């Protein structure tokens, strides 16, 4: 999953692209779909094992980050700079 370019965004969260010396693009964060899939896998694993892997506060923070990312991407698409 980590090395699958289809599951990664090219741009970093700040909108920049990062390259290494040979000119190869360093992938940015996972796509939103992949992030949702990973959280879903963790939640299913929790249900199967009875172990708590992601707390309520952590899940709330994850969802806030997702919302912030969506808003930042919209601002970049509209030519605005996010704080």
Q: How confident is the model at residue 16 (pLDDT cuts 50, 70, 90)?
A: confident
Average pLDDT score, the chain: 88
b/e sequence 35-63, b meaning 16+ C-beta within 10 Å: beeebeeeeeeeeeeeeeeeeeeeeeebe
d(CA 35, CA 83): 23
Written as six digits, the tokens of 34 are: 């992949």
Would you say residue 71 has pLDDT above 80? yes
pTM for the whole thing? 0.74
Would you say residue 52 has pLDDT above 70? yes
Name which residue leads in pLDDT, 41 or 29: 41
Question: DSSP 3-state assignment of 18?
Answer: strand
């Amino acid at each position: 999953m980590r090395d699958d370019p289809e599951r990664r965004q090219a741009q970093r969260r700040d909108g920049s692209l990062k390259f290494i010396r040979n000119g190869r693009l360093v992938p940015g964060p996972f796509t939103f779909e992949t992030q949702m899939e990973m959280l879903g896998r963790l939640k299913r694993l929790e249900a199967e094992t009875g172990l708590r892997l992601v707390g309520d506060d952590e899940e709330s923070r994850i969802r806030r980050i997702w919302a912030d990312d969506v808003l930042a991407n919209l601002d970049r698409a509209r030519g605005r700079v996010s704080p």
